[in-house]
Amino acid sequence: MKSETRTTELKWFKKDFPLLGGTNRGKPLVYLDSASSAQKPQQVIDAISYFYGHDYANIHRGIYELSERATNVYEQAREAAARFINASSNEIIFTSGTTGAINLVAQSFGRSQLQAGDEIIVTEMEHHSNIVPWYLLKEQMGIVLKVVPVLDDGSLDMLAYASLFSSRTKLVAVTHVSNVIGTINPIRDMIMLAHSNDVPVLVDGAQAVPHMNVDVADLDCDFYTFSSHKLYGPTGIGVLYAKSHWLSQMPPYQGGGGMIETVSFDEIIYVNAPHKFEAGTPDIAGAVGLLAAIQYISNIGMQNIEKHEQSLLEYAEEKIHELGFVQIIGTTHPKAGVISFVMNDVHAHDIGTILDAEGIAIRAGHHCAMPLMQRFNVPATVRASFGIYNDFSDVDALIEALKLVKRLFPDVAA
């Protein structure tokens, strides 16, 4: 099916992203790396710039108007993040990103709730940020990691998952959406099974929140994390949602200003969550940008975003299959707007280099998911990931560039 026969209601949103009007290697930029980091709309850029030019001050401790204005907008961002995932604002902790949020849970929940021999269940498709923090606990405390296998189609082996629980299982840490192959995991079912074994669940939502509606109350997860920069907001800030039940039991992860009630050399009394976990001066401008990003995509509507990206995914998969010489890794559905693929006898880095010369910004490598690469017995993949600013012409440009790769490597087998 030709792309010109399809329409997309969101195509005109590309104009909101000033960088997308630029070039890459002297050719019109085609940006297909949103799973790594999304571009920023002018509305987010303007919000951050206005804050620094008109409202900037440190927060919470100033009694002057400027500080009060900065504090208000910072806390508005917290409230917006809470509404965005259907949580309470006192359950929202600002972190440096998803990685920072998972490390917070590992070091605060993990070191206070676990002991040597306790087990954490992860999956074979996790991003390194949801592996390494738990591995550190393995080194520090002697906890045991148990791994859910990935099936040939890119889905989780749910029978194996159910079999991994034991009396020593103390946490499940699982990605909502694979950053490599786009698999949308059956998170609600996984949480229900874990809870039936009295095991809490942390969900890495970095690749889910930008692409679908997430309701943490409906999921009933214990922890949920996401990053601003994948949500069309700035880098350096992210969100940890945690049930109040756990926040009240978890000790501070870091110490400093802003998270204390009183300090002496004999006793320190901490403030309540969420501020108990936000030591020091936070990324105030980052919160302003996150607020603007949430407002931006909320105005578009998550259902519209999901419909648009699913249409792009369907079209891209169809066109790649038609090529006959490209293999998609991870074919299960449902999946988000992410496609990883390989070509026989052509390294992913070579493909990425050729596509780069054609103006296409695409990711090639292990995508911080080496265990998944090992599972599929590939050193790396090429990954195309879509955002609200992509359209069918971007997919067409990708397909034409892949045809060029084939011409440059004519002996590539189908």
Pairing of strands 327-329, 260-263: unpaired
Instruction: Report the distance separating Cα 242 and Cα 90, nearest Å.
Output: 9
Residue 186: partners with Cβ closer than 8 Å, 6 or more residues away: 156, 158
**C-alpha 397 chain-centroid distance:** 26
Backbone phi and psi for residue 365, each to the nearest 5 degrees, phi listed first = 155, -155
Sign of the Cα torsion 350, 353, 359, 361 reads positive
The answer to whether 368 is a known catalytic residue is yes
Beta-strand relationship, 238-242 and 223-227: antiparallel
Q: Which residue is catalytic, options 162, 279, 300, 368?
A: 368
Cis peptide before 274 (omega within 30 of 0): yes
The values of phi and psi at residue 224, to 5°, are -145, 135
Q: Which two tokens stand for residue 154?
A: 């890119």
3-class DSSP assignment, residue 4: helix
Return the sign of the alpha-carbon dihedral for residues 251, 256, 259, 261.
positive
User: What are the catalytic residues?
Assistant: 368
